[in-house]
Amino acid sequence: MDRLLCSAQTSSNKKNYPKNKTSLKEGETIDIEYAAYIEKHKLQLRFSDDTERVIDFGHFLNKSLNPLIRKYLDIEEFKKFTIEYGDLFWNDYDLCFPVADLYEEKI
């Protein structure tokens, strides 16, 4: 959750980041720069260090008992995601995930 308290990073030295690493270092911040719908409840995400992930939100959505979360099982609702200030969210933060968890594929 500490990512939500940090301002978006801009870096001109992206070439110094290793590609597709699996975890963040202590105190390191990361932003989501790009997201694209793939299929069902899967999104392709690109982070500010050029790491890319395909995240399947289906399991999380299916196991939730909260109707405010389960509404995103509807594909048309799920597709209405937004990226703002490096965060991925739905409907003005109705549904959001810590960026570090998405980066480390821990949802």
- Cα-to-chain-centroid distance, residue 53: 9
Q: Please, which pLDDT band fits residue 27 given cuts at 50, 70 and 90?
A: confident
Segment 7-25, tens digit of pLDDT? 333 344 444 444 556 777 7
Q: What is the pLDDT of residue 20?
A: 56
State the fold for domain 2-19+31-103: NE0471 N-terminal domain-like (3.30.2020)
In the chain, domain spans: 2-19+31-103
User: Is the model's pTM score more than 0.85?
Assistant: no
